[in-house]
């Protein structure tokens, strides 16, 4: 019941935000702007999405290798595409991660271990994104002023990392001192799964080089996303300097981290309108950039759905 109410609230938020956009511009103008895009420039931006999936799969492989789990890069890339399908076509944003964890669990010791590895992967990505966003906000302060959502996301991230580190320290201490577990009753099974996750995460404390490599590829992945949006904007003759996108795109993606609408619908478009209006872009052009990017991502997600449908 509670989950249905949250889903309904997200749908309402998305509808209201889209309605707000259509008060600023009409759909015909947006579609006209999309039609005017340079196809020869959209093709390399489309290929950059594939590069992004390869970088993501490579980061995932590095973290799996640290746990002595051997999976080919090609197979992980296909798993990522399947995950993208579930992320884009299910109301929840973690559906794809659960599917990826399940796929790799057939090669690891448990689904808890697989999920812990994906958790580390996600944290490295969020770290890179927030660092980009804060740097961008500091350099673009004169244009944007104080943008509180970025600082809120940074604080939430830091608190989450602190809680995680405290949990890891407690778990490691219990292991060293060989403290026997008490009976947790109905919570005993989820507690054991949580212990497995902490056991996997603790393993990375002695594998710091793998973590640094994963973070490096996380930064590289975010840079790839920035170039992707820059090329799309250029295809619509929005010739803003590259450093502006280096500032803006991470800020937009930090905003999209807050799960208040369905798959970011409405929030994404309004964020593009807000930031790109600072360089004189119309609402129609801003939404066209957002929709072209989202449409290309959906094409890869559909490919992931086909892989899922036809695999054994």
Q: Per-residue pLDDT tens for 43-68?
A: 999 999 999 999 999 999 998 988 88
pLDDT tens, position by position, 154-168: 677 777 677 766 766
% of the chain beyond a pLDDT of 90: 24
Q: Which two tokens stand for residue 81?
A: 């595409």
164-188 pLDDT, tens digit each? 667 666 656 665 555 555 555 555 5
Task: List the chain domain ranges.
Answer: 51-310
Confidence (pTM): 0.83
Give the C-alpha separation, 191 to 193, whole Å. Answer: 5
Give the alpha-carbon dihedral of 219, 223, 229, 232, to 10 degrees: -140
pLDDT of residue 275: 85
| Cβ 221 vs Cβ 232: under 8 Å | no
3 state DSSP class of 182: coil
Tell me the C-alpha to C-alpha distance, in Å, between residue 75 and each of 15, 82, 86. Answer: 37, 11, 17
* Residue 289 confidence class, pLDDT cut points 50, 70, 90: very high
How many C-beta neighbours within 10 Å does residue 94 have?
A: 16
CA distance 282 to 274: 10
pLDDT band at 216 (very low <50, low <70, confident <90, very high): very high
């Amino acid at each position: 019941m509670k989950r249905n109410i949250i889903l309904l609230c997200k749908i309402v938020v998305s509808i209201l935000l889209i309605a707000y956009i259509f008060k600023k511009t009409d759909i015909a103008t947006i579609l006209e702007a999309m039609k005017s895009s340079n196809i020869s420039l959209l093709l390399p931006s489309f290929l950059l999405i594939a590069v992004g999936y390869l970088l993501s799969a490579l980061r995932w492989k590095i973290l799996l290798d640290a746990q002595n789990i051997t999976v080919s890069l090609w197979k992980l890339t296909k798993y990522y595409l399947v995950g993208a399908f579930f992320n884009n076509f299910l109301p929840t944003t973690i559906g794809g991660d659960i599917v990826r964890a399940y796929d790799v669990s057939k090669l690891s010791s448990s689904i808890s271990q697989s999920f812990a590895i994906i958790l580390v992967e996600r944290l490295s990505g969020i770290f890179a994104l927030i660092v980009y966003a804060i740097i961008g906000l500091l350099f673009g302060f004169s244009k944007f002023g104080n943008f509180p959502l970025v600082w809120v996301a940074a604080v939430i991230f830091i608190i989450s990392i602190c809680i995680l580190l405290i949990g890891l320290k407690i778990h490691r201490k219990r292991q060293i001192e060989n403290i026997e577990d008490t009976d947790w009753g109905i919570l005993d099974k989820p507690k054991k799964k949580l212990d497995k996750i902490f056991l996997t995460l603790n393993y990375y404390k002695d594998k710091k080089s793998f973590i640094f490599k994963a973070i490096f590829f996380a930064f590289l992945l975010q840079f790839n996303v920035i170039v992707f949006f820059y090329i799309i904007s250029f295809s619509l003759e929005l010739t803003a300097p590259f450093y502006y996108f280096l500032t803006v795109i991470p800020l937009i993606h930090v905003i999209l981290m807050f799960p208040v609408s369905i798959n970011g619908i409405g929030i994404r478009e309004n964020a593009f309108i807000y930031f790109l209006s600072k360089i004189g872009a119309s609402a129609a052009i801003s939404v066209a950039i957002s929709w072209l990017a989202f449409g290309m991502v959906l094409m890869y997600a559909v490919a992931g759905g086909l892989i899922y449908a036809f695999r054994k």
